[in-house]
Structure 1
Amino acid sequence: MQSTRTSSLKPSNNRLFWVLLVGFCSFIYLLYREWPYLLMQSMRWQKDINEVLTNSLMDSQAHDIKTILYFVGLSFAYGILHSLGPGHGKVIVTTYLATHPTKIKTSLILTVLAALTQALVAISLVSVLLWGFNASMKEVNQQSIYFIDASYLIMAYLGLSIIYSAIKHHIHSNKQQPKVNLSINKIQLSPSNPSSAMLKPQQNQHHLSHKHDQHCGCGHKHFASAEDINQATNLKQYITIILGIGMRPCTGAIMVLLFSHIMGLYWLGVVSSFLMGVGTAITISTIALLTISGKKIINIYRKPNKLNTRYISLVAKLLAGLLLITIGLLLSQSQTYAVAPFLK
C-alpha cells in the first residue's frame, strides 16, 4: 500500500520539478535580457536623489535647524526609497525566507542587522580612509568597489550553502525514514482455548535485536534530529545573509559622508548614514513580512503531504541557491560592465 502511494506521487513530483525548472530558466533569461535597462534606470534614479541630497547638505552649512532637520528627514526617506529599487539585499531576503522556515522575529532581526551593518560599513570605510590615510574621494570610491564585490561573492556563497545544506538535509531525512519489519518469532497455543493461536514475541530475542532509532520509544536520544543538525547551518547562513547585505556600503551614504567631510559637517553625514540604514531596514523588513505572509497563505491552501512537501522543499532550495549564485556573479561582473556581462 505504501509503495503504491509513493509511486503514484513520483509523476507529479517530476512534473513539478520540470515546471519549476522551466520557470527558473525563463526568469534568468528575462533578467539577462533586461539587465542593462534595469541597471541604467537604477543609476539614473539614484543620481537624481543624490543631487537632491547634495543640495540639501550644502544648504545645511548655514546651521539652520530647519534645514538640518529637512536633510535628516530626506536621508531617512532616501533609505526607504533607495531600497525599493533593484538590489541584491531584497533578492537575498526574499529568496531565503521563501524557501526556509524562518520565524517573523528572526527575519526582522536579520533585516535590521543587515541594514545597520551596511550603514556601519560605509561609515567605517570612509572614516578610516579619510581620517587615517587622508585618502581622496577617488581613492575612497575605488576601495568601496572591493567591498561591493565582496558582498556579491558572499551572495553567491550563500547560494552554494543553501544547495549544500538542502542536499545534506534531504539525504539525512531519507536515512531517518522508519523501516517496518514484521516477523513472527513464536507461535504459542493458549491453554484456555487450544483452538486459538496467540502470537508472542520472544522477549530476550527482541531485546537483543533492538535497534535504537527515533521511533524506538526507549526514551534515549541516539542521534540529532534534522532540526538539530540544521540549527548550526542556519546560524551560519544568518551570518552570511547579514554580511552579504551589509558588506555592500550604501553609495548614497558614501557620497554624503564625503561631501559632509568637505563642508565640515562630518557628524551630520554620520547621522544621515545611520538614518539611511534605518529607512533601508524598514523597507526590507516589510518585504520580509510580505514574503512570510505569502508563504503562509500558500501553505494554508496547499494539501499537506509529507513526501510531496519534502521534494518541493528540495527543488525550491536548489533553485533558490542557483538564483543567488547567478545574480551574485552577474552583479560582480556588472561592476566592470554597464551591459550584460556575456556580451563582452
Structure 2
Amino acid sequence: MRWPALILAVLGAAALWLWALGGADQIMWYAVDAQRDVQNAMAAALRGLRAGQPGALATLWGLCFAYGFVHAAGPGHGKLVIGGYGAGTRVPARRLAGLALGASLAQALTAVLLVYAAVFVFGWGRQQMTGVADDVLAPLSYALIGLVGLWLLIRGVRHLRPAHDHDHHGDSDVCSSCGHAHGPTLEQAQTVRSWRDALVVIGTIAVRPCTGALFLLILTWRLDIDWAGIIGALIMGLGTASITVLVAFAAVGFRESALQLVNNSAVARTLAWAEILAGGIVLILASQLVLRSI
C-alpha cells in the first residue's frame, strides 16, 4: 500500500469515529462540562481574591491554566490549523511549536482587546461580547481555516506538477540526470517557509477569542482587578498551548516518519501529496465547523 493510501485510511477511520459515530460530540460535551466546572471555580477564586484571602491569586491563575488545557483538549480550530500545517509543510518541529505558542498567546490578546474595546468604546456587556465571539468571530475563523486548507491543497498541486517521474541518480541533493533538486536540503528544511505562512497560521487561530478568557476578563474588570484578569488570560493561553504544542510535535513526527518510508527520489512528490491530503482534510473539517456554527 502506497503511503498516501495509508494516510487516507488512517485519517478516514479517525474522521469516521469523530464525525459519523459521534466521537467529536462526546469529546466536546466532556470538554464543555469540564470548562463549566473550572469557570465556577474561577468565580469562587475571584471572590476570594477580592476578599483578600491568601493563596487566592495562585489558585485563580492555576485554574486559568487548567481551563486553557481543558479548552484545547476538546475539538478545536487551533489544533486543526497547527496539525494540518505541520503535516503538509516541512517546517521544523521547534518552529511549529513556536507558532502554536504564539497563536495561543495571540488568541488571549484578542480576548483582552475585544473586552476593553467593547467596554470603553461600545459599552457592551458579557452577553454581547460572547455573542460576537460565538456568532461572528467563530464562523469567520472557521472560514479562514477552510481557506488555509484550500491554500495548502493548491500549493501541493503546484508542487506536484514539476515533480519528476524518473529516478534520482547519485547521492547529492541535485539529480545528475536533470540537474534539479528532488526535495529540500537539510538547510532548506530548517528555514521558515515565510513570514506570511506564520502570520496566516497565527491569525486564523487568534481571530476567535476564547470565551473563558472573556468570562475572566469581564469579571476582573467589574471587580477592579484588571491586571489579574489580563495575566490570567495569558496563562490561559499557555494552558491551551500545552496541547497545541503537543499537536505540533505529533504532526511533524508523523510527517517525518512517512518520509522515512520513501527514497530520495520520491521526497518532493511525497511532500506534495502530504500538502494535498492535509489541505483537503482541513478544508473538509473547517467546512463542517462553519456549518455547525451558523
Alignment pair present for 1:173 and 2:128: no
Q: Which residue of 1 aligns with 2:25?
A: 36
Change in Cα spacing, 1:297 to 1:175, as seen in structure 2 (3 Å) is closer
Change in Cα spacing, 1:285 to 1:21, as seen in structure 2 (3 Å) is closer
Q: Deviations over 1:249-286 (max 9, x none)?
A: 11110111112222222222111101111222233223
Q: Which residue of 1 aligns with 2:171?
A: none
**Deviation at residue 22 of structure 1 after TM alignment:** 4.4
Task: Verify the 8 A CA contact 1:117 1:246 in the aligned structure 2.
Answer: yes
Q: Deviations over 1:78-131 (max 9, x none)?
A: 223332232221122122212321113311321121011000000000110012
In 2, distance between residues paired with 1:18 and 1:285? Answer: 27
How many residues align structurally?
A: 282
Alignment pair present for 1:110 and 2:110: no
Equivalent of 1:284 in 234, 244, 248: 244
Q: Secondary structure at the match of 2:147?
A: helix
In 2, distance between residues paired with 1:160 and 1:177? Answer: 30
Equivalent of 1:330 in 278, 288, 291: 288
Task: Verify the 8 A CA contact 2:31 2:73 in the aligned structure 1.
Answer: no
Q: Secondary structure at the match of 2:73?
A: coil
Change in Cα spacing, 1:295 to 1:123, as seen in structure 2 (3 Å) is same
In 1, distance between residues paired with 2:145 and 2:100? Answer: 15
In 1, distance between residues paired with 2:238 and 2:176? Answer: 48
Task: Verify the 8 A CA contact 2:91 2:192 in the aligned structure 1.
Answer: no
Letter in 2 for 1:281: A
Q: Secondary structure at the match of 1:64?
A: coil
TM-score (norm 1): 0.71
In 1, distance between residues paired with 2:165 and 2:154? Answer: 17
In 2, distance between residues paired with 1:322 and 1:217? Answer: 31
Equivalent of 1:309 in 267, 273, 286: 267
TM-score (norm 2): 0.82
Q: Which residue of 1 aligns with 2:110?
A: 121
List aligned pairs for 1:35-54, cutoff 5 A: 35-54=24-43
Letter in 1 for 2:72: S
List aligned pairs for 1:75-86, cutoff 5 A: 75-86=64-75
In 1, distance between residues paired with 2:230 and 2:4? Answer: 49
Change in Cα spacing, 1:91 to 1:239, as seen in structure 2 (3 Å) is same
List aligned pairs for 1:104-253, cutoff 5 A: 104-145=93-134, 146-174=136-164, 234-253=194-213
**Deviation at residue 134 of structure 1 after TM alignment:** 1.0
Q: Secondary structure at the match of 2:220?
A: helix
In 2, distance between residues paired with 1:141 and 1:176? Answer: 56
In 2, distance between residues paired with 1:226 and 1:269? Answer: 45
In 2, distance between residues paired with 1:290 and 1:18? Answer: 20
Letter in 2 for 1:318: I
In 1, distance between residues paired with 2:73 and 2:113? Answer: 25
Task: Verify the 8 A CA contact 2:149 2:278 in the aligned structure 1.
Answer: yes
Equivalent of 2:232 in 272, 286, 298: 272
Q: Which runs of 5+ in 1 are unaligned?
A: 1-11, 179-212, 337-344
In 1, distance between residues paired with 2:80 and 2:74? Answer: 11
The alignment yields a C-alpha RMSD, in angstroms, of 3.3
Q: Secondary structure at the match of 2:163?
A: helix
Change in Cα spacing, 1:169 to 1:287, as seen in structure 2 (3 Å) is same
- Identity of aligned pairs, percent? 21
**Deviation at residue 26 of structure 1 after TM alignment:** 3.8
Equivalent of 2:81 in 92, 115, 119: 92
- Segment of structure 1 superposing worse, 16-25 or 100-109: 16-25
Equivalent of 2:279 in 321, 324, 338: 321
Task: Verify the 8 A CA contact 2:143 2:290 in the aligned structure 1.
Answer: yes
**Deviation at residue 324 of structure 1 after TM alignment:** 0.8
Letter in 2 for 1:306: N
Larger C-alpha radius of gyration, 1 or 2? 1
